């Protein structure tokens, strides 16, 4: 078997792994970054296309949780992880959220004033920017509806660069994902990047890990086993795969028992006048009024996406898709209260996740759906699709939406998520945590987690900015 040696083995090249590798390599450590997925250019497929799903999503986007209502979840599987495929929306969490986290699991050194410098560095290094000119027609509709209801909205910054010639420079191709920012920086600083390489197991030796066994693509393109020996190992494989790998390697204390997520439902809304223009990219306005529990917003609304989220309107979808210029997708994202267990299913090589959508979740999503209905009809919608099977296929008034939203049926709704976290929480409360306050797995000397798994609970905002900032905090502490 081929053998490699390094100081730091980083497993996964998403935001958590890319930040870990970059800071360690720039501090002069010898780093190997192992990534299961391929290394593709950021523009190897059009954003939000089926081609992109095939290339860069785990299982082309077909993953579900079990328990009452199945929740479809999406994950990146390529160099850069989720940052390559996401909407790139950036938030700092509320100061209150950070303080609540520190209280919940007793995290040392987690004062907001200690964290803001890491957020500032993320904003600088991964180029967080607002749209340079207005905010697009779908966002304007959201603002109009919210304005009529007296609700506040806000434009959200993105990991995006709008440099270049012309009025729409960067709108579609300015993504500042990990493969554009921190991964090339790591490589320039000497890190070795190994794409198409999947870690099968961590190699234990008492309370230390000596490295990991992985399967990579050999020179002849065939799978080849490789043993990577390391002084320290950072698992940054994302909130589902990190606990899976740790459990498979025999680490189980509070690992994979508390997965949390933001359940989302989407509807399509048709208006009288055409407004949908794809070359504005992702609409970045969100309704602030009901945060942190609920976020309302609009999504990129290409014809395939509209078809996906028209829900129960199967019969006459084609007619409706002809109206795509008058139609867009809107969403409700809630802070979920359910906690999920992640277990490895060895024979099918997939994780099994049991995560109930609680009554509180149903009530919260229902509240969000009602509010969204009010907003959309106030903005001038003619028709809103229903995300619920077996009910009306569409709604014609806010009262119609409210009637259904009051008692959402468990098990018959199209619920999805793109935000997963909290499956290996950090802190000094050993009864609740999987790692110490800086990500070191309890009971080990040189094994760390540094990704979304560490969050004690929901960040209540789009999570990538917090993944990056917390990972930066932890690796800085390690290197100090």
Active centre residues (catalytic): 419
Residue 177 has φ and ψ, to the nearest 5°, of: -80, 180
- Whole-number minimum distance, CB 322 to ligand FAD, in Å? 27
In 3-state terms, what secondary structure has residue 424?
coil
Q: How far apart are CA 432 and CA 103, in angstroms?
A: 12
Regarding 87 and contact with ligand FAD (CB under 6 A), the answer is yes
Q: Which stretch binds ligand FAD (CB under 6 A): 138-146, 342-350, 387-395, 458-466?
A: 458-466
Where does 76-140 show beta strands of DSSP type E?
89-90, 128-129
Report the run of H or E that residue 95 belongs to, with start and end. helix 95-105
Regarding 285 and contact with ligand FAD (CB under 6 A), the answer is no
Regarding 14 and contact with ligand FAD (CB under 6 A), the answer is yes
- Whole-number minimum distance, CB 17 to ligand FAD, in Å? 6
Q: How far apart are CA 67 and CA 362, in angstroms?
A: 13
HSE (CB half, 13 Å, CA atoms) of 72?
16
Q: How far apart are CA 244 and CA 198, in angstroms?
A: 13
Please state, as a whole number, how many other Cβ atoms lie within 10 Å of the Cβ of residue 221.
8
In the chain, the N- to C-terminal Cα span, in Å, equals 35
Report the run of H or E that residue 147 belongs to, with start and end. helix 137-149
Is the bond preceding residue 292 a cis peptide, omega within 30 degrees?
yes
Q: In the set 102, 183, 199, 202, which binds ligand FAD (CB under 6 A)?
A: 199
Q: How far apart are CA 286 and CA 266, in angstroms?
A: 14
Quick one: 33 or 408, whose CB is closer to ligand FAD? 33
Regarding 365 and contact with ligand FAD (CB under 6 A), the answer is no
- Whole-number minimum distance, CB 106 to ligand FAD, in Å? 22
Binding string, residues 403-432; x marks residues near ligand FAD by CB under 6 A: ---------------xx-------------
Token digits for 236? 């940054």
Rg (CA), the chain: 22
Token digits for 65? 């949780």
Instruction: Report residue 139 CA to chain centroid gap.
Output: 21
Q: Which stretch binds ligand FAD (CB under 6 A): 163-171, 272-280, 334-342, 461-469?
A: 461-469
Regarding 245 and contact with ligand FAD (CB under 6 A), the answer is yes
Q: In the set 32, 53, 85, 369, which binds ligand FAD (CB under 6 A)?
A: 85
Instruction: Report residue 221 CA to chain centroid gap.
Output: 31
Regarding 195 and contact with ligand FAD (CB under 6 A), the answer is no
Closest CA relative to residue 176, chosen from 67, 43, 293? 43
Q: Which stretch binds ligand FAD (CB under 6 A): 14-22, 185-193, 334-342, 368-376?
A: 14-22
Quick one: 142 or 452, whose CB is closer to ligand FAD? 452
Regarding 194 and contact with ligand FAD (CB under 6 A), the answer is no
Token digits for 355? 């995560």
Q: Which stretch binds ligand FAD (CB under 6 A): 33-41, 168-176, 185-193, 397-405?
A: 33-41
Binding string, residues 45-84; x marks residues near ligand FAD by CB under 6 A: -----------------------------xxxxx--xxx-
- Whole-number minimum distance, CB 300 to ligand FAD, in Å? 10
Q: How far apart are CA 17 and CA 472, in angstroms?
A: 10
Quick one: 203 or 393, whose CB is closer to ligand FAD? 203
Q: In the set 24, 88, 107, 287, which binds ligand FAD (CB under 6 A)?
A: 88
Regarding 391 and contact with ligand FAD (CB under 6 A), the answer is no
Closest CA relative to residue 47, chosen from 177, 173, 181, 179? 173
Regarding 463 and contact with ligand FAD (CB under 6 A), the answer is yes
Based on the number of CB atoms within 10 Å of its own CB, is 462 exposed (0-12), middle (13-18) or buried (19 or more)? buried
Quick one: 313 or 453, whose CB is closer to ligand FAD? 453
Instruction: Report residue 30 CA to chain centroid gap.
Output: 29
Quick one: 87 or 372, whose CB is closer to ligand FAD? 87
Q: How far apart are CA 336 and CA 393, in angstroms?
A: 26
Regarding 334 and contact with ligand FAD (CB under 6 A), the answer is no
- Whole-number minimum distance, CB 36 to ligand FAD, in Å? 4
Regarding 13 and contact with ligand FAD (CB under 6 A), the answer is yes
Quick one: 13 or 232, whose CB is closer to ligand FAD? 13
Regarding 311 and contact with ligand FAD (CB under 6 A), the answer is no
Quick one: 204 or 325, whose CB is closer to ligand FAD? 204
Token digits for 8? 């730091």
Instruction: Report residue 355 CA to chain centroid gap.
Output: 17
Quick one: 75 or 400, whose CB is closer to ligand FAD? 75
The footprint of ligand FAD (CB under 6 A) covers 11-17, 34-37, 74-78, 81-83, 85-89, 198-199, 236-239, 241, 245, 418-419, 451-452, 462-465, 467
């Amino acid at each position: 078997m081929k053998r490699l040696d390094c100081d730091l083995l980083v497993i996964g090249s998403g935001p958590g792994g890319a930040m870990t590798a970059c800071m360690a390599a720039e501090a002069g450590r010898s780093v190997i970054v192992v990534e299961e997925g391929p290394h593709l250019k950021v523009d190897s497929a059009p954003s939000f296309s089926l081609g992109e799903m095939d290339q860069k999503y785990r299982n082309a986007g077909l993953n579900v949780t079990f328990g009452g209502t199945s929740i479809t979840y999406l994950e990146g599987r390529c160099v850069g992880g989720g940052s390559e495929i996401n909407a790139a929306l950036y938030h700092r969490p509320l100061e209150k959220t950070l303080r609540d986290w520190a209280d919940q699991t007793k995290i040392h050194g987690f004062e907001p004033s200690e964290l803001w410098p890491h957020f500032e560095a993320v904003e600088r290094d991964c180029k967080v920017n607002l749209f340079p000119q207005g905010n697009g027609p779908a966002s304007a509709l959201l603002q109009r509806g919210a304005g009529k209801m007296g609700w506040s909205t806000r434009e959200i910054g993105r990991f995006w660069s709008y440099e270049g010639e012309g009025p729409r420079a960067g709108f579609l191709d300015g993504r500042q994902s990990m493969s554009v920012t921190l991964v090339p920086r790591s490589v320039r600083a000497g890190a070795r990047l190994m794409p198409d390489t999947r870690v099968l197991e961590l190699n234990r030796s008492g309370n230390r890990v000596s490295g990991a066994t992985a399967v990579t693509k050999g020179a002849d393109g065939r799978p080849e086993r490789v043993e990577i020996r390391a002084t320290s190992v950072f698992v940054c494989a994302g909130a589902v795969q990190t606990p899976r790998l740790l459990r498979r390697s025999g680490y189980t204390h509070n690992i994979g028992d508390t997965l949390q997520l933001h359940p989302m439902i989407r509807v399509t809304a048709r208006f009288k006048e055409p407004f949908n223009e794809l070359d504005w990219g992702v609409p970045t306005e969100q309704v602030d009024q009901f945060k942190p529990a609920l976020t309302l917003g609009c999504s990129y609304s290409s014809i395939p996406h509209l078809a996906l989220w028209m829900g129960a309107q199967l019969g006459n979808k084609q007619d409706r898709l002809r109206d795509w210029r008058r139609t867009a997708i809107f969403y409700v994202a809630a802070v979920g209260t359910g906690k999920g267990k992640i277990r490895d299913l060895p024979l099918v090589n997939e994780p099994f996740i049991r995560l109930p959508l609680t009554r509180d979740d149903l009530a919260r999503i229902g509240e969000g759906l009602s509010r969204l209905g009010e907003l959309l009809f106030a903005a001038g919608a003619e028709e809103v699709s229903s995300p619920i099977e077996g009910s009306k296929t569409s709604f014609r008034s806010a009262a119609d939406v409210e009637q259904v939203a009051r008692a959402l049926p468990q098990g018959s709704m199209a619920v999805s998520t793109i935000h997963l976290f909290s499956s290996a929480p950090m802190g000094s409360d050993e009864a609740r945590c999987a790692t110490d306050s800086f990500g070191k797995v309890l009971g080990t000397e040189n094994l760390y987690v540094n990704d979304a798994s560490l969050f004690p609970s929901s960040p209540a905002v789009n999570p990538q900015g917090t993944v990056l900032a917390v990972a930066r905090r932890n690796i800085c502490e390690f290197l100090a």
